[in-house]
Amino acid sequence: MNYHMSPEQFREEGKKLIDWIADYYEQVEKYPVLSQVQPGNITKQLPNNAPEKGEEFSTVMKDVEQIIMPGITHWQSPNFFAYFQSNNSFPSILGDLLSSGLGVQGMLWATSPACTELETRVMDWLVDLKGLPKHFKSTENGGGVIQDTASSAVLAALLAARERKTNFACNQTGDNSGLVAYISTQTHSSVEKGVKVMGLGTDRLRRIEVDRHFAMRPDLLEKQIQQDLEAGLKPFFVCATIGTTSSNAVDPIEAIGRVCRQHSIWLHVDAAMSGTAALLPDYRQYFEGLELADSYAFNPHKWMFTNFDCDCFWVADKAVLIKTLSILPEYLKNEATEKGAVIDYRDWHVQLGRRFRSLKLWFVLRHYGAEGLRYHINQHIELTQLFTEWVKDSDDFELLSEPPFNLVLFRHTKGNEFNKYLMDCLNKDGKIYLTHTVLNGTFWLRMSIGQTQTEERHVQEAWRLIKEKAETL
Amino acid sequence: MNYHMSPEQFREEGKKLIDWIADYYEQVEKYPVLSQVQPGNITKQLPNNAPEKGEEFSTVMKDVEQIIMPGITHWQSPNFFAYFQSNNSFPSILGDLLSSGLGVQGMLWATSPACTELETRVMDWLVDLKGLPKHFKSTENGGGVIQDTASSAVLAALLAARERKTNFACNQTGDNSGLVAYISTQTHSSVEKGVKVMGLGTDRLRRIEVDRHFAMRPDLLEKQIQQDLEAGLKPFFVCATIGTTSSNAVDPIEAIGRVCRQHSIWLHVDAAMSGTAALLPDYRQYFEGLELADSYAFNPHKWMFTNFDCDCFWVADKAVLIKTLSILPEYLKNEATEKGAVIDYRDWHVQLGRRFRSLKLWFVLRHYGAEGLRYHINQHIELTQLFTEWVKDSDDFELLSEPPFNLVLFRHTKGNEFNKYLMDCLNKDGKIYLTHTVLNGTFWLRMSIGQTQTEERHVQEAWRLIKEKAETL
């Protein structure tokens, strides 16, 4: 006797679920993009207690359709233009399914060698595909690892930078006195969070002013560092961004990198959202200077057809990262680790356990090929340029600046309140979903164009809806 | 023109993959449990570069079979008795598939309300199912969140404890002076790692000696705290364990909790591996005193048929955790968050992004029902007791102590080197896989009995193989 689902039932329900997912993608446009439920709506439809007796799978799937689906904001809709895209693809879903099915633990090389070796290889592939500096490859001093998110990547970078600067003393003594980190006023909040987590404190985080394109000013960075040095402090970390979250600004990596080198400061470059653009040689200008970076991260789970979570993080000197994060209790000792012949990815991030995440990335790379990825990324950028032209041609709307990649910031000329009201009305209609930011007190609409199924007709229709709604308000 | 996989092809390949996974589980016993490849074996079969042109899905699956599978250590084999079990189930695979398919981001309530509300509800269900203190429920001051791993959970607990003790000053000033954390000599390495990550430094981590059952001695904890207080230090955190990794020892939670309360110290209880046993009322004696804990974690991805990653983490006072980890940049502002009517799980862990992890847990709970889970967990414990009896009845093997749950520590009487050799030989044969630990200089074999498909015949056969191998060495 047992309560397990039998392989036969799994075959049957699994195939139905595959069809369900295919149907979902074929019909995703029928849903309001932004879920229209109110707080508590889902909760009150779920019983107060877990069932005592097991239930039929079909009953659960009925609840998925009736209770869960109205509470879904459809990130995979071609009409989703909010936040950042988080574009998925069928090959990625299949890779992730295989990972769930195999159920292996990749904490050590020994606990599933393929999980480690495929990850290392795929991360090396991406260095070449994106034209990244060779020293990020595992065959050099560097190496790449899949982290869950860019937040975890920047935390790992902060920690490695701290230990390098303190000669690996802080891990033991906790003495972080005088350490100072630098970001711009536009850097993602994950660095501030990382600075809190690592116990440095936000007082020790300097926010460097930006130029009129919202990019960090290297002259002001240099000036602040000089001031801090004169005050006896120890600058140890700078985070530069290629494509900020708010407005897709690109910090001048090369100039910032030179400042960092001069003062032996760890440079982390965060290209979480826009890093995929480096697949296109024409866009590598924005990545110039990356050879001066100590670490670099981008998220295939944003703009490379790979479902969450998949952040690719590279370091130029893996020994520093490993020394910072390694722990080896007796119950994890094994021959391969002790010989030093292998990578144990447990020592590359906070977590010990890890799933076989490289499968989905490998499936995506092999399904699309470099050619297919370049084609679609280029398409997204072209659609963005098209939308940009429409905004520029319009009397009622204005553009923040020429978008470098696939995020347009624009606004109606009628001011902040009107724009916020316009956005809320559009999102409540449910036909498209877009979000906002505020820059120097001005409210801007953000249009992020990069969902897997987004085509010209969706962007056209979005623009028509935006104009129409603005006229009727 | 596009390079995407069509829904038709996804239906076809997805169904084949479902069959592939079902076949895998039906045939998993044919593989050597521990992968027999050497370092670099997998790598050298993978090309140096990503493909320029996309490839057929069938080609990729052929490589999965020929290149990847020999590099897999089969955690889902019924003959896997190593480390801890990481037991998977078909309902969990389906829940995870649905999560991959929907591809939603759950960082905020607003970005998919169902993702947040289902998680909250399922975490509340588990409080009742496991007989945990009611104050961990979201309807009280507490609440639960799914973290990726117990390492991330303990880091979150450390940070909340730090901020509570410093009145939320450390996040800003970085001043952690005098803070001291306490574990036993047997506590999992994740706490040491967390103490490094948070910048406290391992000098400020006290390892309390254990009793002869390897459980933390509360009298020595109290004594060390007194010493530290007299030295002007600030004890702020204790981690107690229900089921240590090495030997499944159970720290006396109630006695430790009283010490913590007396000195206003945050008590985190880690039951990553053994926490599932609380589903059985007969085993709740080991969890007594949990009402004195500030936080508690266990991993359904270890022993509750839910595939990695799924760590359940509760806090008694969610306001402290949220205040510790919250960040609210403009581009994430939204009405629901500002009204305070909702949970934004982004503020409950280091990461910002999060996938819809509660689906797989919900699928498991509904498929098995409380009854089914209790049945199987009880079965694993009974098999463990059976194995224990065999060891006790044997002249050649000895037992460390009566196992409380599902992990047996035993050894051949011939000494450390013999036992290590015995283990290596057994693992190289590939029929079973078990690992070891060292306690007070003595090498012990660890037999963790809890894989989904493990039945009495597998445990019997394992014992036969162990005895037979020992005789032939």
Whether residues A197 and B193 touch (CB distance < 8 A) is answered with no
Whether residues A376 and B13 touch (CB distance < 8 A) is answered with no
* pLDDT exceeds cutoff 90 at A43: yes
Q: Which residue of chain A has the CA closest to B437?
A: A331
* pLDDT exceeds cutoff 80 at A120: yes
Q: Say if residues B71 and B32 touch (Cβ distance below 8 Å).
A: no
Task: Report pLDDT for B328.
Answer: 76
Residue B220 lies in a domain: yes
Pairing relationship of beta strands B397-399 and B407-412 according to DSSP bridges: antiparallel
- The β-bridge partners of A14 are none
Which of B13, B51, B367 minimises the CB distance to A54? B367
Is the same domain home to A136 and A256? yes
- Chain A residues closer than 8 Å to B324 by CB: 196
Determine the residue type at A84.
Answer: F
Q: Which of A197, A247, A325, A407 to mutate to test the interface with B (most CBs of B within 10 A)?
A: A197
Task: Report pLDDT for A199.
Answer: 97
Which of A86, A174, A371 minimises the CB distance to B199? A174
Residue span of the structural domain in which A62 resides: 7-88
Last residue of a domain, one of A309, A330, A354: A354
* pLDDT exceeds cutoff 90 at B339: no
Is the same domain home to A286 and A315? yes
The CATH number given to whatever domain includes residue A24 is 1.20.1340.10
Q: Say if residues A345 and A354 touch (Cβ distance below 8 Å).
A: yes
Min distance A78 CA to chain B CA atoms (Å): 13
Average pLDDT of chain A, as a whole number: 96
Q: How far is CA A11 from CA A6, A19, A21, A93, A397, in A?
A: 9, 12, 15, 17, 53
Q: Say if residues B275 and B130 touch (Cβ distance below 8 Å).
A: yes
* pLDDT exceeds cutoff 90 at A347: yes
DSSP assignment letter at B45: G
The CATH number given to whatever domain includes residue B293 is 3.40.640.10
Q: Which of B56, B57, B66, B94 to mutate to test the interface with A (most CBs of A within 10 A)?
A: B94
Task: Report pLDDT for A335.
Answer: 76
Per-residue DSSP letters for A228-265?
Answer: HHHTT-EEEEEEEEBS-TTT--B--HHHHHHHHHHTT-
Last residue of a domain, one of A321, A354, A387: A354
* H or E stretch at B239: strand B234-241
Sorting pLDDT into bands at 50, 70 and 90, what band is B332?
A: confident
Min distance A231 CA to chain B CA atoms (Å): 17
- Chain A residues closer than 8 Å to B55 by CB: 366-367, 369
Is the same domain home to A65 and A152? no
Last residue of a domain, one of A42, A57, A88: A88
DSSP assignment letter at B446: E
Count of Cβ atoms closer than 10 Å to residue A36 Cβ? 16
Residue A452 lies in a domain: no
Sorting pLDDT into bands at 50, 70 and 90, what band is A219?
A: very high
Pairing relationship of beta strands A435-439 and A442-448 according to DSSP bridges: antiparallel
- How crowded is the C-beta side of B302, counted as CA atoms within 13 Å? 26
Is the same domain home to A79 and A130? no
A315 — phi, psi (to 5°)? -125, 150
Dist CA B91 CA A232 (whole Å): 58
Sorting pLDDT into bands at 50, 70 and 90, what band is A330?
A: confident
Residue B79 lies in a domain: no
Is the same domain home to A135 and A28? no
Whether residues B367 and A57 touch (CB distance < 8 A) is answered with yes
Task: Report pLDDT for B334.
Answer: 77
Dist CA B252 CA B290 (whole Å): 10
* pLDDT exceeds cutoff 90 at B329: no
Q: Which residues contact A280 (CB under 8 A, 6 or more apart)?
A: A374, A377, A378, A381
Whether residues B327 and A189 touch (CB distance < 8 A) is answered with yes
pLDDT in tens, A269-284: 999 999 999 999 999 9
> Alpha helices of B198-242 — where are they, by DSSP H?
218-230
Is the same domain home to A111 and A82? no
Average pLDDT of chain B, as a whole number: 96
* pLDDT exceeds cutoff 90 at B327: no
Q: Would you call A175 exposed, middle or buried from its count of C-beta atoms within 10 A (0-12, 13-18, 19+)?
A: middle
* pLDDT exceeds cutoff 80 at B331: no
- Domains in chain B, number: 1
Task: Report pLDDT for B10.
Answer: 98
Dist CA A296 CA A238 (whole Å): 12
* pLDDT exceeds cutoff 80 at A40: yes
Q: Say if residues B445 and B434 touch (Cβ distance below 8 Å).
A: yes
> Which position has the higher pLDDT, B366 or A327?
B366
Is the same domain home to A217 and A263? yes
A141 token code pair? 């001093």
Task: Report pLDDT for B341.
Answer: 81
DSSP assignment letter at B188: -
Task: Report pLDDT for B410.
Answer: 98
Residue B191 lies in a domain: yes
Residue B131 lies in a domain: yes
ipTM of the complex: 0.97
Min distance A415 CA to chain B CA atoms (Å): 17
What strands lie across the sheet with B234-241, from one edge to the other?
B143-147, B311-315, B295-298, B266-270, B234-241, B179-184, B205-208
Sorting pLDDT into bands at 50, 70 and 90, what band is B403?
A: very high
Is the same domain home to A114 and A178? yes
Q: Can you tell me the mean pLDDT for A412-441?
A: 96
Residue A457 lies in a domain: no
Whether residues B22 and A14 touch (CB distance < 8 A) is answered with yes
Q: Which of A340, A434, A348 is nearest to A85 (CA)?
A: A434
Is the same domain home to A32 and A169? no
Whether residues A370 and B176 touch (CB distance < 8 A) is answered with no
Is the same domain home to A159 and A281? yes
Residue A115 lies in a domain: yes
* pLDDT exceeds cutoff 90 at B372: yes
Q: Which of A193, A206, A312 to mutate to test the interface with B (most CBs of B within 10 A)?
A: A193
* H or E stretch at B376: helix B358-393
- The β-bridge partners of A458 are none
Whether residues B100 and A102 touch (CB distance < 8 A) is answered with no
Task: Report pLDDT for A341.
Answer: 81
Min distance B261 CA to chain A CA atoms (Å): 25
Residue B440 lies in a domain: no
> Alpha helices of B166-266 — where are they, by DSSP H?
170-173, 189-197, 218-230, 253-262
Is the same domain home to A73 and A109? no
